[in-house]
């Protein structure tokens, strides 16, 4: 956590985070616009933010895109905000909210570091005995590319021909298409008729888990994309994934899960 506090101590780095909060997924050139800093200085500040895991990056062709990452601030919230008087750490709470609600990007990107092995993390992502504990959902599939997936969560069962495994590179990359929202799902999780109508008309999205060993840890990057403009599903994803991934990290590192929420992005 020391790296996070040091990274946040610099006003220029906070301005970069503000810029990414307004529009996440920017290039270095875009982030330099409006800042009275050289390209080299911005690049150095971004390196500090990335080292602190406050910013995560993805390559799109030849462009390197920068995204806000809420994982370290969530960790601070769990250790400090939830333990002590919230009034004394109001600024951190505001930052946590800002990082989890970055706008103007039609994808969700989140990176966390888990003290585990790629093999155990893969099992936690695919084994119903694990997913049930930290997520409340299970998946029936053989985890082969193109294979159908049957999704069960809180009594709701979802399956259709387009709900499939996309990529399964053992211990490295896993991706699959996300569920859509049918009437049974809306009834189970209490969506209003208006929200159900919007969700039912949205395109199907895809989630990808990228696993990268790093000494005694695994760097897990979750990329969830394929949403349409002003997606209601994406809004739910942004709230749901940080809680699910925090629960996954806690389970793998301690053997226990966090107090049970209803996790249904």
Give the residue from 253, 258, 247, 251 showing the smallest Cα distance to 216.
Answer: 253
| Backbone dihedral angles phi then psi of residue 247, each to the nearest 5 degrees | -65, -40
E strand residue ranges, the chain: 55-60, 63-68, 107-114, 137-140, 150-153, 156-158, 165-169, 173-177, 206-214, 217-225
Q: 80 with 89: CB under 8 angstroms?
A: yes
Q: 227 with 245: CB under 8 angstroms?
A: no
Q: 260 with 247: CB under 8 angstroms?
A: no
Last-in-domain residue among 105, 124, 148: 105
Look at residue 260 and tell me if it is in a domain. Answer: no
What's the whole-model pTM score?
0.74
Specify the number of domains making up the chain: 2
Same structural domain, 130 and 156: yes
Last-in-domain residue among 54, 76, 105: 105
Distance CA 163, CA 167 (A): 13
Same structural domain, 135 and 173: yes
| Backbone dihedral angles phi then psi of residue 14, each to the nearest 5 degrees | -65, -35
Same structural domain, 92 and 217: no
Number of Cα atoms under 13 Å in the Cβ half of residue 106: 11
Taking phi over 0 as left and psi of -120 to 50 as alpha, with beta for the rest, 59 belongs to beta
Distance of CA 247 to the CA centre of its chain: 12
Look at residue 265 and tell me if it is in a domain. Answer: no
Helix (H, G, I), strand (E, B) or coil at 208: strand
Instruction: Report the mean per-residue pLDDT for the chain.
Output: 86
User: pLDDT-derived band of residue 127, with 50, 70 and 90 as boundaries?
Assistant: very high
Same structural domain, 43 and 150: no
* pLDDT tens-digit readout, 194-248: 999 999 999 999 999 999 998 899 999 999 999 998 899 999 998 899 999 999 9
| CATH code of 76's domain | 1.10.10.10
Same structural domain, 47 and 116: no
Residue 56 has pLDDT above 80, yes or no: yes
| CATH code of 223's domain | 3.30.530.20
| Backbone dihedral angles phi then psi of residue 50, each to the nearest 5 degrees | -70, -40
Residue 137's domain spans which residues? Answer: 110-254
Same structural domain, 76 and 10: yes
Residue 262 has pLDDT above 70, yes or no: no
Beta strands at 107-114 and 137-140: parallel, antiparallel or unpaired: unpaired
Residue 114 has pLDDT above 70, yes or no: yes
Average pLDDT (7-12) is: 87
| pLDDT score, position 261 | 47
Look at residue 219 and tell me if it is in a domain. Answer: yes
Last-in-domain residue among 105, 122, 144: 105
* pLDDT tens-digit readout, 70-105: 777 666 655 555 555 444 444 444 444 445 444 446
| pLDDT score, position 79 | 55
């Amino acid at each position: 956590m020391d790296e996070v506090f040091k990274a946040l101590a610099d006003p220029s780095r906070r301005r970069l985070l503000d810029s990414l909060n307004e529009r996440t997924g920017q290039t270095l050139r875009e982030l330099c616009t409006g800042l009275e800093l050289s390209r080299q200085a911005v690049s150095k500040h971004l390196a500090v933010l990335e080292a602190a895991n406050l910013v995560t990056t993805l390559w799109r062709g030849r462009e390197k895109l920068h995204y806000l990452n809420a994982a370290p601030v969530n960790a601070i919230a769990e250790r400090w905000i939830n333990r002590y008087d919230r009034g004394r750490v109001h600024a951190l709470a505001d930052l946590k909210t800002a990082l989890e609600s970055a706008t103007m990007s039609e994808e969700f990107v989140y990176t966390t570091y888990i003290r585990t092995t790629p093999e155990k993390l893969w099992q936690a992502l695919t084994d119903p005995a694990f997913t049930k504990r930290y997520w409340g959902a299970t998946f029936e599939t053989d985890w082969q590319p193109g294979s159908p997936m049957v999704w069960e969560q809180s009594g709701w069962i979802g399956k259709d021909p387009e709900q499939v495994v996309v990529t399964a590179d053992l211990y490295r990359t896993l991706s699959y298409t996300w569920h859509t929202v049918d009437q049974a799902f809306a009834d189970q999780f209490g969506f209003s008729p208006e929200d159900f109508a919007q969700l039912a008309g949205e395109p199907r999205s895809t989630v990808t888990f990228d696993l990268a060993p790093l000494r005694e840890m695994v760097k897990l990057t979750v990329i969830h994309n394929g949403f349409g403009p002003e997606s209601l599903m994406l809004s739910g994803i942004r709230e749901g994934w940080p809680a699910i991934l925090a629960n996954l990290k806690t389970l793998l590192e301690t053997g226990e899960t966090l107090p049970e929420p209803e996790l249904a992005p």
